C-alpha cells in the first residue's frame, strides 16, 4: 500500500532513494528473510547461506554505507535520505536491516576517531567493498551485565566491572575476556568494535573501545544463538584470549572520553532502531489492511465492518506517530554533538512499542491465519517482540532516560538554544 508521506518537502532524490530501497526490500530482503527464518541458526551463517547473497546485493547498491561521507567513498546521502532508506529496509526485514547496520560499526568508529591511519585502514576498504566480505559488529554487552552498559551516570556505573579487559603492553594492548551472545552479526563478522575495560577503578565508566580484527590469534566465537524472533539476524558470543592489537586500534584509549563517544554510539543505534521499527509497523499495518480487503466475514469484506475500520485507522496512526517521532529525533541529533540520548531513547522505545502493538493487532485481525507461517504477520510479531529488548531493554532505557531528565534537563535546553542562536 502506497500512501502520502507527511513530509511534502521530499526531493526527487529522496523519492528515488525510497523507490530503490523499497524495491530491494521487496525483491531481495523479504524472500531471503523468509528463507533464513526457517533455517537453524548454524545454517544461517554456514557457507552458501542466502545471508551472503543478501549482503552481496546490499553492498552492490551502497546500502551498507548510507551514512558515510562521499569523499571517502560513501554515496553522499543526506541524513533524511538515509532515514527514508532505513525505513524501507526495516519494512523488508528488521533482522537483516540490523545486520547491515552492524556491518559498518568498526568503520564508523575509525571515522569518528579522526585518525587518518585508521580511516585508510578500515573506512576506505569498507566503503570500497562491494561483495559483502568486510563485515563488522558491535561487541558491547557482557554476559552478566547486558543493559548496564547504558547506565551512564547511575550509581552502580562506577562499581560494576566489565568482563572484557585490556592492558597496555608497550605499543600494543592485550585483550582478554568474553562478550555476550547478543552481538548482532558476530557469527559472520570479520571485525568487532569492542568495549573493553582499561581503568578498573572506574567500573563500567573506565572502559575504552577497540577495533579488533577477528582473524587475530586468540579470537574465537561461540555457537550462534537460537531465538524466537529476528532469526535472520545471527548473534553469538565473542571470546578474547590474550589478543594483541596495535595501540592505534584502541579508538577510545581514555576513559574520560568514553561517556562522550559511548553515548554517541547509543544515540545513533537507538535512533536507527526507531526508524527501522517504523518500517516494520508499516508492514504490519499493510498486511492487515490488505487482508481485510480480501477476507469475507459475516457476508461482507472485513474492511466494511465498522469496528475493523477503527482498528485499521489506529494502526495507521501508530505508523505515522513512529515516523514523526523518529524522523524529528534524527533531524535534531544530526545537528548536535553529542546527540541527546533522552530523545534517542524516546524514538527507540516509542517506535518499537507502537510497532509491536501493530503486529499484535495484525495477528488478531488475521485470526488463526495470523498464527501460521503462511502469513507474514506471524514473523513480524516475533521480530518486534525482540525489538523491545534489543539495543537496550525498553523499561531499562526509560529508567535511564528518566535519570537523564532529572540530572541534565537544563543541558538539553541549553544545547538547543545554542543551536538556534548559531542559526
Which pLDDT tens digit goes with each residue over 68-111? 999 999 998 999 999 999 999 999 999 999 999 999 999 999 99
Q: Are residues 190 and 122 in the same domain?
A: no
The terminus-to-terminus CA distance of the chain in angstroms comes to 39
Cβ 158 vs Cβ 202: under 8 Å = yes
Q: Are residues 276 and 396 in the same domain?
A: yes
Q: Are residues 418 and 293 in the same domain?
A: yes
Q: Are strands 164-169 and 207-213 parallel, antiparallel or unpaired?
A: unpaired
Q: Are residues 85 and 220 in the same domain?
A: no
Residue 5: inside a domain: no
Residue 391: inside a domain: yes
pLDDT in tens, 392-403: 889 988 887 776
pLDDT in tens, 174-199: 999 999 999 999 999 999 999 999 99
Residue 416 clears pLDDT 70, i.e. is over it: no
DSSP one-letter code for 104? T
Q: Are residues 265 and 283 in the same domain?
A: yes
Q: Are residues 94 and 148 in the same domain?
A: no
Q: Are residues 343 and 377 in the same domain?
A: yes
Looking at per-residue confidence, does 76 or 276 come out higher?
A: 276
Examine the fold and report which residue of 128, 154, 174 is the final residue of a domain before the chain moves on.
Answer: 128
Residue 70: inside a domain: yes
CA distance 17 to 26: 14
Q: Per-residue pLDDT averaged across 413-423, rounded?
A: 54
CA distance 341 to 332: 11
Range of the domain at 320: 258-422
Burial of 303 (0-12, 13-18, 19+ CB in 10 A): middle
pLDDT band at 409 (very low <50, low <70, confident <90, very high): low
Q: Are residues 368 and 408 in the same domain?
A: yes
Q: Please count the structural domains in the chain.
A: 3
Average pLDDT over the chain reads: 92
Cβ 160 vs Cβ 207: under 8 Å = no
CA distance 65 to 123: 10
Cβ 205 vs Cβ 258: under 8 Å = yes
Q: Per-residue pLDDT averaged across 340-358, rounded?
A: 95
CATH number of the domain enclosing 53: 1.10.540.10
Least confident of 95-104, 209-218, 410-419: 410-419
pLDDT of residue 411: 55
pLDDT of residue 419: 53
Q: Are residues 264 and 408 in the same domain?
A: yes
Q: Are residues 231 and 263 in the same domain?
A: no
Q: Are residues 264 and 405 in the same domain?
A: yes
Examine the fold and report which residue of 257, 292, 320 is the final residue of a domain before the chain moves on.
Answer: 257
CATH number of the domain enclosing 299: 1.20.140.10
Global pTM value: 0.93
Residue 4: inside a domain: no
Q: Are residues 107 and 160 in the same domain?
A: no
CATH number of the domain enclosing 233: 2.40.110.10
Q: Which three cell numbers stand for residue 316?
A: 495507521
Q: Which three cell numbers stand for residue 139?
A: 561487541
Examine the fold and report which residue of 99, 128, 157 is the final residue of a domain before the chain moves on.
Answer: 128
Residue 7: inside a domain: no
Residue 131 clears pLDDT 70, i.e. is over it: yes
pLDDT in tens, 287-300: 999 999 999 999 99
Residue 1: inside a domain: no
Residue 3: inside a domain: no
Looking at per-residue confidence, does 341 or 125 come out higher?
A: 125
pLDDT of residue 1: 53
CA dihedral 179, 391, 342, 144 (to 10 degrees): -40
Residue 201: inside a domain: yes
Amino acid at each position: 500500500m502506497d500512501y502520502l508521506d507527511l513530509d511534502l518537502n521530499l526531493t526527487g532524490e529522496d523519492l528515488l532513494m525510497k523507490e530503490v530501497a523499497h524495491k530491494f526490500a521487496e525483491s531481495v530482503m523479504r524472500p531471503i528473510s523468509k528463507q533464513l527464518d526457517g533455517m537453524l541458526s548454524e545454517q544461517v551463517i554456514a557457507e552458501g547461506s542466502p545471508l551472503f547473497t543478501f549482503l552481496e546485493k546490499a553492498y552492490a547498491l551502497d546500502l551498507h554505507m548510507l551514512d558515510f561521507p562521499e569523499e571517502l567513498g560513501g554515496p553522499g546521502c543526506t541524513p533524511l535520505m538515509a532515514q527514508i532508506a532505513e525505513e524501507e529496509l526495516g519494512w523488508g526485514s528488521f533482522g537483516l536491516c540490523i545486520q547491515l547496520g552492524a556491518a559498518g560499526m568498526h568503520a564508523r568508529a575509525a571515522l569518528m576517531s579522526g585518525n587518518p591511519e585508521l580511516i585508510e585502514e578500515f573506512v576506505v576498504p569498507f566503503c570500497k567493498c562491494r561483495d559483502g566480505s568486510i563485515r563488522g559488529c558491535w561487541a558491547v554487552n557482557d554476559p552478566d551485565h547486558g543493559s548496564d552498559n547504558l547506565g551512564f551516570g547511575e550509581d552502580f556505573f562506577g562499581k560494576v566491572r566489565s568482563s572484557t579487559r585490556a592492558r597496555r603492553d608497550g605499543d600494543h594492548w592485550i585483550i582478554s575476556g568474553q562478550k555476550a551472545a547478543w552481538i548482532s552479526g558476530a557469527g559472520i563478522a570479520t571485525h568487532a568494535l569492542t568495549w573493553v575495560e582499561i581503568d578498573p577503578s572506574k567500573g563500567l565508566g573506565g572502559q575504552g573501545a577497540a577495533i579488533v580484527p577477528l582473524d587475530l590469534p586468540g579470537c574465537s566465537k561461540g555457537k550462534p544463538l537460537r531465538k524466537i524472533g529476528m532469526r535472520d539476524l545471527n548473534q553469538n558470543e565473542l571470546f578474547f584470549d590474550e589478543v594483541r592489537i596495535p595501540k592505534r586500534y584502541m579508538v577510545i584509549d581514555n576513559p574520560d572520553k568514553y561517556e562522550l563517544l559511548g553515548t554517541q554510539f547509543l544515540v545513533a543505534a537507538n535512533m536507527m532502531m526507531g526508524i527501522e521499527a517504523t518500517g516494520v509497523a508499516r508492514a504490519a499495518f499493510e498486511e492487515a489492511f490488505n487482508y481485510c480487503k480480501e477476507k469475507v466475514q459475516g457476508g461482507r469484506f472485513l474492511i466494511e465492518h465498522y469496528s475493523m475500520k477503527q482498528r485499521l485507522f489506529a494502526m495507521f496512526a501508530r505508523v505515522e506517530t513512529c515516523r514523526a517521532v523518529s524522523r524529528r529525533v534524527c533531524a535534531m541529533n544530526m545537528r548536535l554533538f553529542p546527540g541527546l540520548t533522552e530523545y534517542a531513547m524516546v524514538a527507540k522505545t516509542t517506535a518499537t512499542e507502537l510497532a509491536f502493538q501493530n503486529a499484535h493487532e495484525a495477528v488478531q485481525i488475521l485470526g488463526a491465519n495470523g498464527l501460521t507461517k503462511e502469513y507474514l504477520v506471524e514473523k513480524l510479531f516475533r521480530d518486534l517482540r525482540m525489538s523491545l529488548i534489543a539495543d537496550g531493554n525498553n523499561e531499562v532505557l526509560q529508567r535511564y532516560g528518566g535519570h537523564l531528565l532529572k540530572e541534565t534537563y537544563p543541558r538539553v535546553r541549553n544545547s538547543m538554544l545554542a543551536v538556534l542562536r548559531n542559526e
